Amino acid sequence: MLAEQLTGQVLSHLDRLTENIYLHKQAIPAFEGLQSAAKDAGFNLQIASGFRSFERQRLIWNNKFSGKTRILDKNEQPLITEQLSDSEKLFAILHWSALPGASRHHWGTDFDIYDPNLLPKDKSLQLTVSEYTYKGYFFELNQWLSDNMKRFDFYRPYQQYNGGVAIEPWHLSYLPVAENAMEQLTQPLIKQTILENNVLGKSLICEQLPIIYKQFICNVQRS
């Protein structure tokens, strides 16, 4: 992938799946196969979030860093950000939200799934672990995906917590392209992207980038 594709600044590697959802061109046939198999099993597999641009990820990041959007702790409870140092705030955000320029959603290979038919009419999608685990709305879908997604070359990069990003059972990744993108996403590229854009906390990010890169970017399941 080109640098601009890796960091979510262009759309040239993508095709439109639905009106609002874009995926990597190579991932679309695989997802459609997975979706069709899910339908045969009684599920309406849909994507809640596919490709996410650098600008969108930057907005998410800046809103959290500035306090406009709440930051959750590891138990999905809101933190009192005024009581956090900038460094504590940085790593608290990274537990749930990727650094702009380093989100796997930039690649178009990664997306968040759910089944709208299983979501209660009085509930909105939250993308929390409780929705996908035992007694959650999407537990059966989650189990089906565990048994079937590898047939279509998908896996969960955040299958378990390894001290970096939180568990995300809803997050699927298309292995053939994502693996290559991960190898190309280097620290110098991320640093350059951060420095060239209005990202809050950029000095601290650059200072902590070796730790961020190891703990929150490379620290994922590989298959």
DSSP alpha helix (H) spans, 17-170: 27-40, 54-66, 86-96, 129-132, 139-148
CB 111 within 8 A of CB 23: yes
Strand partners, 47: 113
Which residues contact residue 174 at a Cβ distance below 8 angstroms, ignoring those fewer than 6 apart? 24, 26, 27, 30, 31, 109, 110, 153, 154
Instruction: Sketch the domain layout of the chain as residue ranges.
Output: 3-217
| C-alpha span between 4 and 42 (Å, rounded) | 39
Can you give the pLDDT at residue 76? 84
Tally of helices (H runs) and strands (E runs) in the chain: 9, 6
List the chain residues with pLDDT less than 50.
none
Question: Where are any strands of DSSP class E within 92-141?
Answer: 110-114
Can you give the pLDDT at residue 147? 98
Pick 3-217's CATH classification: 3.60.15.10, 1.10.20.10, 3.30.1130.10, 3.30.1380.10: 3.30.1380.10
Can you give the pLDDT at residue 104? 98
Can you give the pLDDT at residue 173? 98
Can you give the pLDDT at residue 223? 74
